[in-house]
Structures are given as C-alpha cells and as structure tokens.
Amino acid sequence: AILVAYIVPVDMNQPISVSALKQVLTAKLPTYMVPTAFVFMEALPRTSSGKLDAKALPNPSGSESSPYRAPQTDAEKFIAQLFAELTGAEQVGLDHNFFELGGHSLLAMHLFIRISKQYGVQLPLRTIFEFPTPEGLAQQLMGGTVKRAYKPLFPFNTSGKFPIVFCLPPAGGTATVYKNLADALGKDHQLVGLQARGVDDDEGQYDLSIAEGAATYIRAIKQMQPEGPYYLLGMSLGGNFAHEMAAQLEEQGEKVAALFLVDTMAIYPRTKDEQKSEQELTFELLNALADTEQPYAGPDKANGEQLLDAIQAQWESVGMIPKGTPRSYFSKVVANSLMARSLTKEYIPRVCQTPIVFFKSTVTDGQQKEEWFDWQAYSDQPIAKYEVAAKHAEMLWQPNSYTLIARIVSQVVRNDILGSSN
C-alpha cells in the first residue's frame, strides 16, 4: 500500500508541480505522512448520498496521474541528464523519482559528487531521499546556502503493510548502509534507518555513551511510532545501540517484538588497551577499518592521509562507497568510526526480554573469540543464530548476505503479524 493524494485543482489547465507540493508537505508533516503518489482529478467521485466514493478513486498508476513535464532550468536539465546517465532511463521528466528509475544509495553518492563539482554546493546526502526528483533537487540547489540540520530518521520505505524495522547506525554513523536491505525486503516491509550526528550535517559529532545514544534514538523513533511493539536491527555497533534501546523500551513498559543483531559484539576486549597510547589505539582501529594484509604500524610508516586512502580503497572495493567519494564526507564517517572505542569502553549489556536473532560472519581473521559474540547472557529468550558467508564489512553489501538477512527478517515479522502458518 502507498499513500496517495487525490487533488482537484482550481484550474485543470494550470500545471501543478508535484515536487513543490511534496516540499510544502515535507516541511509540515512527518516524512511517513507525505504522499508517495499524486493523482489530479476534475472532481472526486461521490456516492448517491453525496459522500466520497473511495472505491471509485483511480489507481495512482493510471492515466490521470501527473503527466510528463520537461525540465526547464539549467539545473533541472543537468539533474535530469544525470538521472538518465546513472539509471539508464531514456527520458527523465521533472517528476521522475530517482529510485523508481533504478537508482540506489551508491548511485546517489555518484549523483552528489557530480552535483557538488558542478555547483560547488555540498547538499546532505539525505536530500536525494527527501527530494528524489529533478525539480525537487534543483529547488534545493537554488535555495542558496544549505544549512545541513541533523535529522536522525532516514526513511527508506514507509508505505508497506508490515511494521517498521528501525535500523541503528554502525560505527561510522551512516544510515545509507541499510538501503540494500530495504530493497531486498521489498515494498511490503517498512524500513527506517537512523543516522548519527556529524556524518551528514553541520552540528558536530556524538560524544555519548551507548545508553545516551540509545535514548536519543528512542526519542526519534517515537516521533514516527509512539508505541510498540518495535522491531529493531543493528549492524556491528548499531546492534549495541539496538540492544540498549530494547532494554530501555522495556523499562518504559513498551514491547520490542524482535531484535536483529548483525555481527555485533557483546563483549569488547580491553585488557591490552591500558598499555597502549591513544595514538597506538587510533592506528589499531584504523588498520582494522583498512582491512589490509600489511597493516600500518603508526605515523613512522604511514601518515593519517595514507591510512585514509587505504580505508577508502577497501570500502570502495566491496561497494560500501562509490569511487570518488568526497574526502570531506568520508573523513566524517571515519571520525565517527573512531568514536566506537570510547562508546564501548565502559559498555556492559543489560539483560532484556526481547527475542534476539543473531547473524554471524563466518569469514574472519581468526583473531576473534566466540565469547565476544555470545549474547545469551544478556537475553532471557533463546537466541536464533544464522551464519553468513561474508566478511564483517561486506554483510550489508554482498547480495548473498543481505538477501539472507532480509529473508529471515521478513519471516520473523510476517510470522508475528500473520501467524506461523503464513
């Protein structure tokens, strides 16, 4: 199901901008209440008693939906051409949706790289999700200086018939890592990501404990869903946030129907950290992010920029980011990743009642210990475990892994809502 707006214009001969309508509604309504489709009609159908005949309303994909409108301004033409180049679409109009044309989060980054080079303006990456048409993006470009405010909620699909799965940010803080999972789940499943402060905004970085971060994210999801049951999912550090959120929500009397943890550690080893300098610890984590066969030992062998080059090359190689990602954006993601150490330094999970579904990477470097990933001590419910044949960094990027995760998530949600017979 999708949210459709049926509109009766004062003058049917006067074109109405769908993007402009969406922009007005987005400023006044929560994202999930903004219509996905707009249908223009000469009059609304009525029953014999004069009431609205909802059954007679046309399908939004019918011929009466908004007609093709050609780009007019230089910015609209430039963006429409980019849409066509990146998605392979033959003709792109003002109201064509980037993602409906076949765009995805990696292509969205390419789009923003090109826009940034052309206009010298760094829009928030989330803009393409909020204004996914040539007209909408062009209006944002022409708005002058962009104030990139922090918005934690990052909706991917809010029109499905099944409950929302809220996905918490891993180290790095980005919500876009969940786009592949959202696509794999399909249109029936709602999925909303949460993004950390400092990645795609001008408001600095988080410097919180896991508990404080979880409280921030709970306030955010309650804007969209005031009451449970909630479905929470977290990759890596995101799983720690999700588990703490489950504990806090239970304390508030809310129900968490399921908690999906994707290769999340329950215990973070700290025994050797006390003998290491902050610089050594930083380079240790950077090497882990770089995932190279020959690690850098420290500044005497490689400076920070060389390590960033290695990390970016690794992430590009597995498809986590597109080649040519601006260093300004990438540096913020890495800076948030480095904060994972301080966030988990004093972190000890609490016991919760929520059923846990755990996805474990089977492709490791052999240095990890199984007990680091043992969540049973922190749940009163038996834990369902699934092995995923992918590296930790690839679990949301390799099709064989994220499709497996999507299939299990779908089964759990469908069984809860429809019953085990479905």
pLDDT tens, residue by residue, 63-82: 334 567 899 999 999 999 99
Which pTM value belongs to this model? 0.71
pLDDT digits (tens, 9 = 90+) for 376-404: 999 999 999 999 999 888 899 888 899 99
CA neighbor of 123 nearest in space, from 155, 154, 153, 148: 148
Higher pLDDT, 275 or 184: 184
pLDDT > 70: percent of the chain: 79
Cβ atoms of 160 and 187 within 8 Å: the answer is: yes
Cβ atoms of 79 and 87 within 8 Å: the answer is: no
Residue 346 pLDDT grade (very low, low, confident, very high; cuts 50, 70, 90): confident
* pLDDT higher than threshold 50 for residue 31: yes
Report the SS3 class of residue 118. Answer: helix
Tokens at residue 1, please?
A: 């199901």
Quickly list H helices, 70-198: 74-87, 105-119, 127-130, 134-141, 179-185
Residue 185 pLDDT grade (very low, low, confident, very high; cuts 50, 70, 90): very high
Q: How many helices (H) and strands (E) does the chain have?
A: 13, 9
pLDDT digits (tens, 9 = 90+) for 285-304: 666 666 555 444 444 445 66
pLDDT digits (tens, 9 = 90+) for 192-216: 999 888 777 766 666 578 998 899 9
Least confident of 74-78, 149-153, 322-326, 376-380: 322-326
Residue 37 pLDDT grade (very low, low, confident, very high; cuts 50, 70, 90): confident
Tokens at residue 258, please?
A: 């399921």
Higher pLDDT, 279 or 59: 59
* pLDDT higher than threshold 50 for residue 421: no
* pLDDT higher than threshold 90 for residue 145: no
Query: Could you give the angle at which helices 134-141 and 74-87 cross, rounded to 10 degrees?
Result: 130
N residues, the chain: 422
Higher pLDDT, 80 or 42: 80
Q: In which residue are the tokens 């504990």 written?
A: 247
Residue 62 is predicted with a pLDDT of 40
DSSP string, 186-249: -TTEEEEEE--TTSSSSS------HHHHHHHHHHHHHHH-SSS-EEEEEETHHHHHHHHHHHHH
Tokens at residue 321, please?
A: 């980011």
Residue 261 is predicted with a pLDDT of 97
Residue 264 is predicted with a pLDDT of 94
Q: What is the mean pLDDT of residues 231-258?
A: 96
Q: Which residues contact 202 (CB under 8 A, 6 or more apart)?
A: 147, 148, 149
pLDDT > 90: percent of the chain: 31
Q: What is the mean pLDDT of residues 129-149?
A: 78
